[in-house]
A and B are shown apart, each in its own frame.
Chain A
Amino acid sequence: MTGQQTSTVRDTDSGKAPEATAPASARWRAAVPPPTILVLIGVAIAIVVVAGITNDSFLTEGNMTNLLRQMVTTGLLALGMLLVILTGGIDLSVGSVVALTGIMSAGLVSGLPLPLAVLMAIVIGVLCGTVNGIMVARFSLAPFVVTLASMTTFRGLTYVYSKTPITPTTPDFLTLGSQNVGPIPIAAIITLLMFALGWVLINRTSAGRALLGIGGNREAVRLAGVKVQRHLVLAYALSGLCAGVAGVILASRVGIAQPSLGQGFELDAIAACVIGGASLSGGRGTIGGTLAGVVLLGLIDNLLSLYDVQSYWQQVLKGLIIAVAILVRRGERQNT
């Protein structure tokens, strides 16, 4: 604490005469600290460099493709989660939605044409999200409680649909999750496209700004004419959509859909958002930051298995790394 203060004193004392004439604009620009995202990218690059030097298998094409593929699920879930977190909510049900949509897509392909089966599974995801959204928006229930309940419900529905793993019989179904364009998995391309759409939504549409506004000060945006309930439902529905896409891709990649699929995935998604600078109380968070958070988490997972760290220790280390990332960010915010 005191360290910080003295350094500030030196900064301003170092002879800079107050420039009353400088336009306020120019002075303000200089004051903006490096945004979270630059810090995260820096850290990610550092990890890649160190890992590339110390581990021969890290920078191989096979591992890189693998890494991308691993990031897809967390990425999609984090994207949907971000929209919900921006409004000041949380969606704990995404892991269960992954299971439900995954197992249904695997089951439906045996009876329906492939595109229709995939579409139906995704629609189920949207429906799940919409139910969450309606409970939160219309009945003013706490998002944590609503999605905690629906997390159990959707998981239960998954088991109702099938108690045993389903192996999809259509070979085409497996393309989605396992084929590449060059070295890049199709699934990763889809994910990136969805992030791009997410960026447009948040930064270039009135709906996106409304989501942030709702999280920041619900009453103020309501009085500005924003339809708060509708936007809340939208956020949860989109989270369901992302989880649906993730479920389909995961089932097709693994080639066998377990009803226990996706347990605990919501936590990685939340962690990615938070590492990326989103505030759980709403109103703050960016697409770029979240993507960086996803990459960072993916790298950590990948490296820990490359270095053959035992899976319990993997969890411990990952937890610690998340905690450190959040602490670093907190310090950064205090400087502003």
Chain B
Amino acid sequence: MRLELRGVRKGYGGVEVLHGVDLTAEGGQVLAIAGANGAGKSTLIKVLAGAAPLDGGTILLDGEPLTLRGPEDAQALGFRTVYQELSLVPQMTVTENVLLGALPTKRGLVDWPAAHARVRALLEEIGFADIDPRARAGKLSVARQQMVEIAKALAVEPRMLVLDEPSAVLAGTDLDRLFDLIRRLRERGVAILYVSHRLAEVMEISDRITVIKDGRVVDTLTPALTSEDEIIALMAGRRLEQIYPDRVPESGKPLLSVRGLSRDGAFDDVSFDLAAGEIVGMFGLVGSGRSEVARCLFGADRQTSGTVELDGAVTRFRTPGDAIGAGIALVTEDRKHSGLVLGMDITDNTTFATMPRISHAGLLNTRRRAANVQDMIERLGINPPRPEMPVRHLSGGNQQKVVLAKWLLTRPRVLILDEPTRGVDMATRVDIYRMIDELTREGVAILLISSDLAEVLGATDRVLVMRGGRLVAEVGSADTTEDEVLAHSVGVAA
């Protein structure tokens, strides 16, 4: 199979996003698509999935022109797509989600045993036999949900599989399993399109890399003949000198002291200190309880026992509002579910946590609000820089920047970041790392939760490792290795 795009154009409401894209995907190959946030990767994918009609250009399948009138057309051709945003129905079971609309029947009734068996076999094939087909999709971790999405895409043997940032929520062994799956599919002759901001992955898994910048293809490269630096330079239009800022770890007086913090069913007996000016990383596999600890510190969930001291005084936040008032901010991990009001604009979304502060007698100081928003748009490079743009229409990475902006505006003393660079392009990451570093110079303490090992070691002073709801190790970022941290997190460390 050979799929060619020639001069593909696509816009939204008169604003052109793709300005004539040429690209070729072949059966039995993995084509990676790299590009900065908002470059048009997801838009391109929607075009291929038949979810967005072309505005111009042609698609050729084995040399024949192809018209996709809707997602049905694409699916009938065996084009399967896993979108950047999860799209499972949370109230339904895994089986129902995977076989949605194609449940096996017996005498007109759904044959549940057969359905569950099919899905179990599918999950086994993709290496995730540990997911229960009868579980409600919404109850699974995001990583598991992501894999269910992939199972759904594979429910019918695909000719082409398109994955839009599948790895953003996967880490460690989960990622290895995904790569095994991709390799097996490639051997079976499936064409694979893989979008990711993690260039190390891209170099590892892909046969060719097409780089997109501002809706145009700038180059197509072979991994063996290029480097991450070159790709980043092509994507960003500039070379990045250094990814992580140099840090001189200094341990001052603890600003936040956590002692014996527990929450039933989530984590147990967690103790650590966070000093002003320090960046502490927290690593652990999905389900290790990292995010739960963060939510508890922030007053979003209640702790069962243990104490938290801020500046030497015992605190107990009953609501997030209390925590914000005390100078704690939490950038939550799942922006769609807990970070953004998608239908509202950039202005509202960036100021939700600070609205009371910029109000007088209940009335918003709109001029100050606009100034704050403008400042954040510039500092984080939110694109397009339109305060009244609904965040629904922003690309994934830019949505993430809006969440970050909301919390930076609260001027926190303790900033907890839960996967803050998920879906954020390399150049912007560098800006974020630099900004975090600057914040610490002003005495902010930072807890950086991340599944990205390189990040968790590169951007921090020391790293806490969690496993099964417990803090199992603490290591200095400069004197450890990715392997060591990973070993701690899976419990095989010496």
Residues of A bordering B, CB below 8 Å: 2, 5, 8-9, 11-13, 16, 18, 20, 24-25, 27-33, 200, 204-207, 209-210, 212-213, 216-217, 219-227, 283-284, 335-336
Choose one: B348, B355, B359, B386; the contact of A28 (CB below 8 Å). B386
> Which B residues touch A207, using CB under 8 A?
362
Is the pair A283, B341 in contact by a Cβ cutoff of 8 Å? yes
Interface contact A226-B321, CB-CB below 8 Å:
yes
Would you list which residues of chain B between 12 and 37 have a CB under 8 Å from chain A? 12-16, 19-20
CB-nearest residue of chain A relative to B338? Answer: A219
Whether the Cβ atoms of B15 and A30 lie closer than 8 Å is yes
List A contacts of B12 (CB < 8 A): 31
Is the beta-carbon distance between A225 and B15 smaller than 8 angstroms? Answer: no
Nearest CB in chain B to that of A20: its residue: B214
Q: Complex formed: what's the CA distance from A206 to B342 in Å?
A: 18
Whole-angstrom CA separation of A24 from B366 in the bound complex: 23
Given A31-B14, A33-B13, A209-B364, A224 contacting B320 (CB threshold 8 A): yes
Residues of B within 8 A of A (CB): 9, 11-16, 19-20, 53-56, 69, 214-215, 298, 300, 319-321, 323-325, 330, 332, 337-344, 348, 351-353, 355-356, 359, 362-364, 366, 383-386, 389, 406
With contacts A9-B54, A227-B319 known, is A206 near B356, CB below 8 A?
yes
Closest beta carbon of chain B to A160's beta carbon, Å: 37
Quote the shortest CB–CB distance from B386 to chain A (angstroms).
Answer: 5
A223 touches B56 (CB 8 A): no
> Residues of A contacting B325 with CB < 8 Å?
225
Q: For the A-B complex with A24-B384, A30-B15, A227-B319 known, give 12 more contacts whose Cβ atoms are closer than 8 Å.
A: A12-B16, A20-B19, A25-B385, A28-B386, A32-B13, A206-B356, A206-B362, A207-B362, A217-B338, A224-B352, A226-B321, A335-B13
Q: Could you tell me the distance in whole angstroms from the C-beta of A136 to the nearest C-beta in chain B?
A: 19
Asked if B363 contacts A204 (CB within 8 A), the reply is yes
Identify the closest chain B residue to A216 (Cβ): B341
Closest Cβ neighbor of B348 among chain A residues = A209
* 20 CB < 8 A contacts A-B: A12-B14, A12-B16, A18-B215, A24-B383, A28-B384, A30-B15, A32-B13, A33-B13, A204-B366, A205-B359, A206-B356, A216-B342, A220-B338, A220-B339, A220-B341, A220-B352, A223-B298, A223-B330, A223-B338, A335-B13
Rounded to whole Å, the gap between the CB of A137 and the closest CB of chain B is 14
A24 touches B356 (CB 8 A): no
Q: Give the Cβ gap from B400 to chain A, nearest Cβ, in Å.
A: 13
**A224-B320, A227-B319 are contacts. A216–B344 as well, Cβ < 8 Å?**
yes
Smallest CB gap from A24: residue in B: B384
* B384 contacts A221, C-beta separation under 8 Å: no
Contact residues in A for B319 (Cβ distance below 8 Å): 225, 227
A42 to chain B: closest CB distance in Å?
20
B214 CB to nearest A CB, Å: 6
Taking a contact as CB atoms under 8 Å apart, the answer to whether A216 and B343 are in contact is yes
B55 touches A13 (CB 8 A): yes
Contact among B56, B214, B338 for A13, CB-based, below 8 A = B56
Known contacts: A12-B14, A32-B13. The answer to whether A227 contacts B321 by CB under 8 A is yes
B53 neighbours in A (Cβ, 8 Å):
5, 8-9
Chain A nearest CB from B58 CB (Å) reads: 12
B364 touches A205 (CB 8 A): yes
Q: How far is the CB of B425 from chain A (nearest CB, A)?
A: 17
The CA-CA distance from A224 to B351 in the complex, in Å, is 9
Considering only CB atoms, which chain A residue lies closest to B17 in the complex?
A: A18
- Within the complex, the shortest CB–CB distance from A108 to chain B, in Å, comes to 31
B324 surroundings in chain A (CB, below 8 A): 224-225
Nearest first, the 6 A-B pairs at minimum CB distance are A206-B355, A216-B341, A31-B13, A225-B321, A24-B384, A224-B352
A11–B14 alpha-carbon span in the complex (Å):
7
Contact between chains at B389 and A28 (CB < 8 Å)? yes
CB distance from A16 to the nearest CB of B (A): 8
Chain B contacts for A227, CB-based, 8 A? 319, 321
B406 proximity list for chain A (CB < 8 A): 224
Q: How far is the CA of A283 from the CA of B345 in the complex (A)?
A: 11
Chain A residue at minimum C-beta to C-beta distance from B352: A224
Q: Are B9 and A12 in contact (CB under 8 A)?
A: yes
User: CB within 8 A of A225: which of B16, B55, B340, B353?
Assistant: B353
